[in-house]
Amino acid sequence: MASAPAKAPPRAGVTFAAELTFEGVHLHYGPVHTLKGISLTVNAGEILCLLGPSGSGKTSLLRVAAGLERQTSGRVLMNGREVAGPGRFVPPEKRSVGLMFQDFALFPHMTVSQNIRFGLTDMATAVAAGEAKAAIDRVGLGHHAGSYPDVLSGGEQQRVALARALAPRPSVMLMDEPFSGLDTRLKDSVRAETLAILREMRATTIVVTHDAEEAMRLGDRIALLDAGRIVQTGTAEDIYHAPANLFVAGFFAELNVFDARVGGGAVDTPLGRFPATGFDDGAKLTVAVRTAGVDASAYRGGPTPAGTVLGRITARRFLGVTEQLWLAVEGATAPVRARIRAGELARDARDVMISVRPGDILLFESASESA
Protein backbone atom coordinates (compact mmCIF):
# COMPACT_ATOMS: atom_id res chain seq x y z
CA MET A 1 0.00 0.00 0.00
CA ALA A 2 1.29 3.47 -0.83
CA SER A 3 2.25 5.45 2.24
CA ALA A 4 0.76 8.90 2.83
CA PRO A 5 2.88 11.85 1.72
CA ALA A 6 5.23 12.80 4.56
CA LYS A 7 3.95 16.40 4.71
CA ALA A 8 0.21 15.73 4.60
CA PRO A 9 -1.39 17.80 7.37
CA PRO A 10 -3.09 15.96 10.20
CA ARG A 11 -6.80 15.74 9.54
CA ALA A 12 -9.33 17.88 11.36
CA GLY A 13 -11.73 16.22 13.78
CA VAL A 14 -15.18 15.58 12.37
CA THR A 15 -18.15 17.38 13.93
CA PHE A 16 -21.77 16.31 14.21
CA ALA A 17 -23.17 18.79 11.74
CA ALA A 18 -26.60 20.22 12.45
CA GLU A 19 -29.28 21.48 10.10
CA LEU A 20 -29.90 25.15 10.83
CA THR A 21 -33.27 26.70 10.05
CA PHE A 22 -34.56 30.26 10.24
CA GLU A 23 -38.34 30.58 10.19
CA GLY A 24 -39.80 34.02 9.50
CA VAL A 25 -37.12 35.80 11.52
CA HIS A 26 -37.63 39.52 12.11
CA LEU A 27 -35.21 41.70 14.03
CA HIS A 28 -35.67 45.30 15.10
CA TYR A 29 -33.01 47.49 16.63
CA GLY A 30 -35.34 50.09 18.11
CA PRO A 31 -37.07 51.66 15.11
CA VAL A 32 -34.68 49.99 12.63
CA HIS A 33 -36.26 46.92 11.01
CA THR A 34 -33.07 45.00 10.18
CA LEU A 35 -34.31 41.50 9.31
CA LYS A 36 -37.65 41.29 7.54
CA GLY A 37 -38.91 37.73 7.62
CA ILE A 38 -35.90 35.53 6.93
CA SER A 39 -36.76 31.91 6.13
CA LEU A 40 -33.79 29.75 5.22
CA THR A 41 -32.49 26.25 5.86
CA VAL A 42 -28.79 25.45 5.86
CA ASN A 43 -28.43 21.70 5.39
CA ALA A 44 -26.25 19.62 7.68
CA GLY A 45 -22.65 19.82 6.46
CA GLU A 46 -23.42 22.49 3.89
CA ILE A 47 -21.36 25.65 3.38
CA LEU A 48 -23.73 28.52 2.73
CA CYS A 49 -22.49 31.99 1.84
CA LEU A 50 -24.59 34.86 3.06
CA LEU A 51 -23.95 37.56 0.52
CA GLY A 52 -25.18 41.13 0.42
CA PRO A 53 -24.21 44.78 0.40
CA SER A 54 -23.20 46.68 3.51
CA GLY A 55 -26.09 47.10 5.90
CA SER A 56 -28.24 44.36 4.36
CA GLY A 57 -28.36 42.43 7.65
CA LYS A 58 -25.76 39.67 7.19
CA THR A 59 -24.03 40.14 10.53
CA SER A 60 -27.36 40.54 12.28
CA LEU A 61 -28.58 37.18 10.95
CA LEU A 62 -25.34 35.53 12.07
CA ARG A 63 -25.75 37.04 15.54
CA VAL A 64 -29.30 35.71 15.72
CA ALA A 65 -28.04 32.23 14.73
CA ALA A 66 -25.34 32.39 17.42
CA GLY A 67 -27.75 33.60 20.09
CA LEU A 68 -25.85 36.88 20.53
CA GLU A 69 -29.01 38.67 19.46
CA ARG A 70 -32.60 37.67 20.18
CA GLN A 71 -34.93 38.09 17.20
CA THR A 72 -38.13 40.10 17.59
CA SER A 73 -40.23 37.31 16.09
CA GLY A 74 -39.80 34.04 14.21
CA ARG A 75 -37.81 30.97 15.18
CA VAL A 76 -34.33 29.49 14.86
CA LEU A 77 -34.02 25.70 14.89
CA MET A 78 -31.10 23.29 14.99
CA ASN A 79 -31.93 19.80 13.77
CA GLY A 80 -35.60 20.73 14.05
CA ARG A 81 -35.25 21.74 17.72
CA GLU A 82 -36.09 25.32 18.57
CA VAL A 83 -33.07 27.19 19.94
CA ALA A 84 -34.70 30.62 19.78
CA GLY A 85 -38.40 31.31 19.59
CA PRO A 86 -41.32 32.67 21.53
CA GLY A 87 -41.02 30.10 24.28
CA ARG A 88 -37.37 29.16 24.32
CA PHE A 89 -33.93 30.72 24.15
CA VAL A 90 -30.79 28.61 24.25
CA PRO A 91 -27.78 30.79 25.16
CA PRO A 92 -24.81 30.95 22.77
CA GLU A 93 -22.54 28.68 24.82
CA LYS A 94 -25.15 25.90 24.73
CA ARG A 95 -25.77 25.97 20.96
CA SER A 96 -22.63 24.22 19.74
CA VAL A 97 -21.75 27.08 17.41
CA GLY A 98 -18.26 28.21 16.46
CA LEU A 99 -17.79 31.90 15.77
CA MET A 100 -15.14 33.59 13.74
CA PHE A 101 -15.00 37.33 13.23
CA GLN A 102 -13.46 39.64 10.66
CA ASP A 103 -10.83 40.96 13.11
CA PHE A 104 -10.12 37.41 14.42
CA ALA A 105 -10.68 38.66 18.01
CA LEU A 106 -7.67 36.83 19.45
CA PHE A 107 -6.72 37.50 23.07
CA PRO A 108 -3.43 39.42 22.88
CA HIS A 109 -2.25 38.35 26.35
CA MET A 110 -2.67 34.64 25.60
CA THR A 111 -0.43 32.38 23.54
CA VAL A 112 -1.72 30.62 20.45
CA SER A 113 -2.22 27.48 22.51
CA GLN A 114 -4.06 29.33 25.29
CA ASN A 115 -6.25 31.12 22.75
CA ILE A 116 -7.31 27.81 21.28
CA ARG A 117 -7.87 26.15 24.64
CA PHE A 118 -10.08 29.04 25.70
CA GLY A 119 -13.15 27.43 24.13
CA LEU A 120 -12.41 23.99 25.56
CA THR A 121 -13.14 24.71 29.21
CA ASP A 122 -15.80 21.99 29.39
CA MET A 123 -13.19 19.31 28.68
CA ALA A 124 -10.83 17.60 31.09
CA THR A 125 -7.42 19.34 30.99
CA ALA A 126 -5.60 16.51 29.27
CA VAL A 127 -8.33 16.10 26.64
CA ALA A 128 -8.43 19.86 26.03
CA ALA A 129 -4.65 19.94 25.60
CA GLY A 130 -4.83 17.12 23.06
CA GLU A 131 -7.68 18.74 21.11
CA ALA A 132 -5.94 22.11 21.11
CA LYS A 133 -2.72 20.56 19.85
CA ALA A 134 -4.58 18.70 17.09
CA ALA A 135 -6.28 21.94 16.01
CA ILE A 136 -2.99 23.90 16.05
CA ASP A 137 -1.24 21.19 14.04
CA ARG A 138 -4.11 21.01 11.56
CA VAL A 139 -3.70 24.69 10.69
CA GLY A 140 0.06 24.23 10.43
CA LEU A 141 1.03 26.38 13.42
CA GLY A 142 2.59 23.76 15.71
CA HIS A 143 5.81 25.79 15.83
CA HIS A 144 3.88 28.84 17.05
CA ALA A 145 1.95 27.17 19.89
CA GLY A 146 3.79 29.27 22.48
CA SER A 147 3.80 32.54 20.49
CA TYR A 148 1.63 35.56 21.21
CA PRO A 149 -0.72 36.83 18.47
CA ASP A 150 1.21 40.05 17.87
CA VAL A 151 4.19 38.18 16.40
CA LEU A 152 1.98 36.37 13.87
CA SER A 153 1.20 37.52 10.33
CA GLY A 154 -2.39 38.26 9.33
CA GLY A 155 -2.71 34.85 7.66
CA GLU A 156 -1.38 33.09 10.75
CA GLN A 157 -3.76 34.97 13.01
CA GLN A 158 -6.61 33.93 10.73
CA ARG A 159 -5.54 30.30 11.15
CA VAL A 160 -5.44 30.62 14.95
CA ALA A 161 -8.94 32.09 14.91
CA LEU A 162 -10.10 29.21 12.71
CA ALA A 163 -8.47 26.63 14.98
CA ARG A 164 -10.01 28.25 18.05
CA ALA A 165 -13.49 28.22 16.53
CA LEU A 166 -13.18 24.63 15.32
CA ALA A 167 -11.43 23.03 18.31
CA PRO A 168 -14.66 22.43 20.27
CA ARG A 169 -16.03 20.72 17.12
CA PRO A 170 -19.11 22.90 16.77
CA SER A 171 -22.16 21.64 14.91
CA VAL A 172 -22.47 24.99 13.16
CA MET A 173 -19.68 27.37 12.17
CA LEU A 174 -20.56 31.03 11.75
CA MET A 175 -17.92 33.12 10.00
CA ASP A 176 -18.25 36.88 9.56
CA GLU A 177 -16.10 38.16 6.68
CA PRO A 178 -13.28 35.85 7.75
CA PHE A 179 -10.94 36.82 4.92
CA SER A 180 -11.56 40.52 4.53
CA GLY A 181 -8.59 41.52 6.70
CA LEU A 182 -6.12 39.66 4.47
CA ASP A 183 -4.34 41.06 1.46
CA THR A 184 -5.45 39.83 -1.95
CA ARG A 185 -2.53 37.48 -2.61
CA LEU A 186 -2.79 35.79 0.77
CA LYS A 187 -6.56 35.59 0.58
CA ASP A 188 -6.70 32.96 -2.17
CA SER A 189 -4.49 30.44 -0.38
CA VAL A 190 -5.99 31.04 3.07
CA ARG A 191 -9.48 30.70 1.62
CA ALA A 192 -8.64 27.43 -0.12
CA GLU A 193 -7.06 26.00 3.04
CA THR A 194 -10.00 27.10 5.20
CA LEU A 195 -12.39 25.48 2.77
CA ALA A 196 -10.41 22.23 2.89
CA ILE A 197 -10.58 22.20 6.70
CA LEU A 198 -14.30 22.98 6.74
CA ARG A 199 -14.91 20.14 4.29
CA GLU A 200 -12.93 17.74 6.45
CA MET A 201 -14.82 18.76 9.57
CA ARG A 202 -18.14 18.63 7.76
CA ALA A 203 -19.52 21.36 10.00
CA THR A 204 -22.57 23.21 8.78
CA THR A 205 -21.16 26.63 7.93
CA ILE A 206 -22.44 30.11 7.18
CA VAL A 207 -19.85 32.47 5.74
CA VAL A 208 -20.77 36.14 5.53
CA THR A 209 -19.26 38.07 2.65
CA HIS A 210 -20.05 41.06 0.47
CA ASP A 211 -17.89 39.70 -2.35
CA ALA A 212 -19.82 37.69 -4.96
CA GLU A 213 -16.71 36.00 -6.29
CA GLU A 214 -15.75 34.85 -2.81
CA ALA A 215 -19.27 33.49 -2.32
CA MET A 216 -19.00 31.58 -5.60
CA ARG A 217 -15.62 30.11 -4.62
CA LEU A 218 -16.72 29.00 -1.16
CA GLY A 219 -20.39 28.24 -1.00
CA ASP A 220 -22.28 25.09 -1.86
CA ARG A 221 -25.12 27.57 -2.03
CA ILE A 222 -25.47 31.31 -1.76
CA ALA A 223 -28.24 33.31 -0.11
CA LEU A 224 -28.33 36.91 -1.29
CA LEU A 225 -29.64 39.47 1.17
CA ASP A 226 -30.91 42.93 0.31
CA ALA A 227 -32.28 45.34 2.92
CA GLY A 228 -33.12 42.59 5.40
CA ARG A 229 -34.73 40.20 2.92
CA ILE A 230 -33.40 37.17 1.09
CA VAL A 231 -33.82 37.93 -2.60
CA GLN A 232 -32.48 34.66 -3.99
CA THR A 233 -30.99 31.38 -2.78
CA GLY A 234 -29.27 28.84 -4.98
CA THR A 235 -25.99 27.54 -6.32
CA ALA A 236 -23.61 30.05 -7.85
CA GLU A 237 -24.53 28.76 -11.31
CA ASP A 238 -28.28 28.98 -10.68
CA ILE A 239 -28.03 32.56 -9.52
CA TYR A 240 -25.54 33.69 -12.15
CA HIS A 241 -27.53 32.26 -15.05
CA ALA A 242 -31.01 33.09 -13.79
CA PRO A 243 -30.82 36.09 -11.45
CA ALA A 244 -34.16 36.91 -9.86
CA ASN A 245 -33.90 40.63 -10.54
CA LEU A 246 -31.58 43.41 -11.68
CA PHE A 247 -30.10 43.81 -8.19
CA VAL A 248 -29.00 40.16 -8.15
CA ALA A 249 -27.67 40.34 -11.71
CA GLY A 250 -25.67 43.46 -10.85
CA PHE A 251 -24.20 41.80 -7.79
CA PHE A 252 -22.77 38.94 -9.81
CA ALA A 253 -21.64 40.71 -12.97
CA GLU A 254 -20.84 44.13 -14.34
CA LEU A 255 -23.73 45.20 -16.55
CA ASN A 256 -24.78 47.60 -19.29
CA VAL A 257 -28.39 48.54 -18.64
CA PHE A 258 -30.97 49.85 -21.12
CA ASP A 259 -34.69 50.55 -20.95
CA ALA A 260 -36.79 49.11 -23.74
CA ARG A 261 -40.38 48.29 -24.65
CA VAL A 262 -41.36 44.94 -26.17
CA GLY A 263 -42.58 45.14 -29.76
CA GLY A 264 -43.14 42.17 -32.07
CA GLY A 265 -41.72 39.77 -29.45
CA ALA A 266 -38.39 41.59 -29.24
CA VAL A 267 -36.69 44.62 -27.70
CA ASP A 268 -34.61 47.21 -29.51
CA THR A 269 -31.50 48.42 -27.69
CA PRO A 270 -28.42 50.36 -28.78
CA LEU A 271 -26.64 46.97 -29.01
CA GLY A 272 -29.24 45.44 -31.31
CA ARG A 273 -32.62 43.77 -31.36
CA PHE A 274 -33.00 40.88 -28.90
CA PRO A 275 -35.83 38.32 -28.55
CA ALA A 276 -38.11 38.97 -25.55
CA THR A 277 -39.73 35.57 -25.22
CA GLY A 278 -42.30 35.32 -22.46
CA PHE A 279 -43.04 39.05 -22.26
CA ASP A 280 -46.16 40.75 -23.61
CA ASP A 281 -45.92 43.25 -26.41
CA GLY A 282 -45.85 46.73 -24.93
CA ALA A 283 -44.21 45.62 -21.65
CA LYS A 284 -41.52 47.94 -20.36
CA LEU A 285 -38.30 46.01 -19.71
CA THR A 286 -34.88 46.61 -18.27
CA VAL A 287 -32.32 44.97 -20.54
CA ALA A 288 -29.05 44.08 -18.83
CA VAL A 289 -26.06 42.98 -20.89
CA ARG A 290 -23.05 41.59 -19.02
CA THR A 291 -19.91 43.49 -20.00
CA ALA A 292 -18.13 40.13 -20.40
CA GLY A 293 -20.68 39.23 -23.09
CA VAL A 294 -19.93 42.25 -25.26
CA ASP A 295 -17.33 41.65 -27.94
CA ALA A 296 -15.60 44.14 -30.19
CA SER A 297 -13.54 43.73 -33.34
CA ALA A 298 -11.81 46.40 -35.40
CA TYR A 299 -13.96 48.03 -38.10
CA ARG A 300 -12.02 49.01 -41.22
CA GLY A 301 -14.98 50.16 -43.34
CA GLY A 302 -17.52 48.42 -45.55
CA PRO A 303 -20.77 46.65 -44.63
CA THR A 304 -21.13 45.26 -41.11
CA PRO A 305 -22.23 41.66 -40.51
CA ALA A 306 -25.77 41.01 -39.25
CA GLY A 307 -26.05 41.12 -35.48
CA THR A 308 -23.35 43.74 -35.02
CA VAL A 309 -23.53 47.47 -34.35
CA LEU A 310 -20.85 50.08 -34.75
CA GLY A 311 -19.16 51.91 -31.90
CA ARG A 312 -16.16 54.07 -31.22
CA ILE A 313 -13.64 53.41 -28.47
CA THR A 314 -13.52 56.32 -26.04
CA ALA A 315 -11.24 54.64 -23.49
CA ARG A 316 -9.57 51.28 -22.92
CA ARG A 317 -7.72 49.86 -19.95
CA PHE A 318 -5.46 46.82 -19.81
CA LEU A 319 -6.31 44.62 -16.80
CA GLY A 320 -4.04 41.60 -17.34
CA VAL A 321 -6.18 38.72 -18.59
CA THR A 322 -8.88 41.05 -19.77
CA GLU A 323 -9.21 44.54 -21.13
CA GLN A 324 -12.00 47.01 -20.39
CA LEU A 325 -13.40 49.13 -23.21
CA TRP A 326 -15.68 52.13 -23.04
CA LEU A 327 -17.59 52.58 -26.29
CA ALA A 328 -19.70 55.37 -27.72
CA VAL A 329 -22.69 53.74 -29.39
CA GLU A 330 -25.53 55.46 -31.17
CA GLY A 331 -28.65 55.60 -29.01
CA ALA A 332 -26.82 54.83 -25.75
CA THR A 333 -26.89 57.66 -23.22
CA ALA A 334 -23.91 56.27 -21.26
CA PRO A 335 -20.73 54.63 -22.59
CA VAL A 336 -21.19 50.92 -23.30
CA ARG A 337 -18.64 48.84 -21.39
CA ALA A 338 -17.08 45.68 -22.78
CA ARG A 339 -14.75 43.23 -21.02
CA ILE A 340 -12.75 41.48 -23.74
CA ARG A 341 -9.77 39.14 -23.66
CA ALA A 342 -6.58 41.21 -23.59
CA GLY A 343 -4.63 41.21 -26.85
CA GLU A 344 -7.59 40.29 -29.07
CA LEU A 345 -8.32 43.78 -30.35
CA ALA A 346 -5.71 45.61 -32.42
CA ARG A 347 -3.99 48.38 -30.45
CA ASP A 348 -4.78 50.94 -33.14
CA ALA A 349 -8.50 50.04 -33.36
CA ARG A 350 -10.73 53.09 -33.04
CA ASP A 351 -14.01 52.12 -34.64
CA VAL A 352 -15.31 48.67 -33.75
CA MET A 353 -18.07 46.21 -34.64
CA ILE A 354 -19.85 45.20 -31.47
CA SER A 355 -21.64 41.90 -30.94
CA VAL A 356 -23.36 40.45 -27.87
CA ARG A 357 -23.45 36.82 -26.72
CA PRO A 358 -27.11 35.84 -26.30
CA GLY A 359 -26.41 34.12 -22.95
CA ASP A 360 -25.27 37.43 -21.50
CA ILE A 361 -28.52 39.26 -22.17
CA LEU A 362 -30.90 39.39 -19.19
CA LEU A 363 -34.40 40.79 -19.34
CA PHE A 364 -36.38 42.04 -16.36
CA GLU A 365 -39.78 43.60 -16.13
CA SER A 366 -39.19 47.24 -15.15
CA ALA A 367 -39.77 47.87 -11.45
CA SER A 368 -42.29 50.62 -12.18
CA GLU A 369 -44.43 48.18 -14.20
CA SER A 370 -44.12 45.11 -11.99
CA ALA A 371 -44.84 46.97 -8.72
71 binds ligand ATP (CB under 6 A): no
Q: Is 60 one of the binding residues for ligand ATP (CB under 6 A)?
A: yes
Rounded to 10 degrees, the C-alpha dihedral 180/182/183/185 comes to -110
- Specify whether the backbone of 113 is left (phi greater than 0), alpha (psi in -120 to 50) or beta: alpha
Q: Tell me which stretch binds ligand ATP (CB under 6 A): 27-35, 280-288, 313-321, 359-367.
A: 27-35
Beta pairing partners, 51: 209, 224
53-61, 124-132, 249-257, 306-314 -> range binding ligand ATP (CB under 6 A)? 53-61
Q: Is 75 in the site for ligand ATP (CB under 6 A)?
A: no
Tell which one of 20, 44, 46, 59 touches ligand ATP (CB under 6 A): 59
| CB neighbour burial string for 104-143, b if at least 16 within 10 angstroms, e if fewer | bebeeeebbbebbbbbbeebeeeebeebbbbbbbbbebee
Q: Distance of CA 71 to CAs 18, 39, 51, 138, 312, Å?
A: 20, 13, 20, 36, 54
If the CB atoms of residues 56 and 308 are measured against ligand ATP, the closer one turns out to be 56
Non-local (6+) Cβ contacts of 81 within 8 A are none
For position 57 contacting ligand ATP by CB under 6 A, the verdict is yes
Total of residues contacting ligand ATP (CB under 6 A): 12
Q: Of 45 and 57, which CB lies nearer to ligand ATP in the complex structure?
A: 57
Rounded to whole angstroms, how far apart are CA atoms 260 and 282? 9
Cβ(24)–Cβ(74) under 8 Å? yes
Task: Tell me the closest approach of the beta carbon of residue 258 to ligand ATP, in angstroms.
Answer: 30
250: Cβ contacts below 8 Å, ≥ 6 apart: 288
Q: Looking at residues 158 to 217 of the shown chain, list those that interact with ligand ATP (rule: CB under 6 A).
A: 210
When binding is defined by CB under 6 A, the residue of 3, 54, 333, 368 that contacts ligand ATP is 54
Task: Please select the residue that binds ligand ATP; options are 17, 22, 40, 56, rule is CB under 6 A.
Answer: 56
- Single out the residue of 15, 21, 34, 205 in contact with ligand ATP (rule: CB under 6 A): 34
Out of 45, 52, 98, 293, the residue judged to bind ligand ATP by CB under 6 A: 52
Q: Does residue 90 contact residue 77 with C-beta atoms inside 8 Å?
A: no
Least Cβ distance, residue 235 to ligand ATP (angstroms): 22
Enumerate binding residues for ligand ATP (CB under 6 A). Answer: 29, 32, 34, 52, 54-60, 210
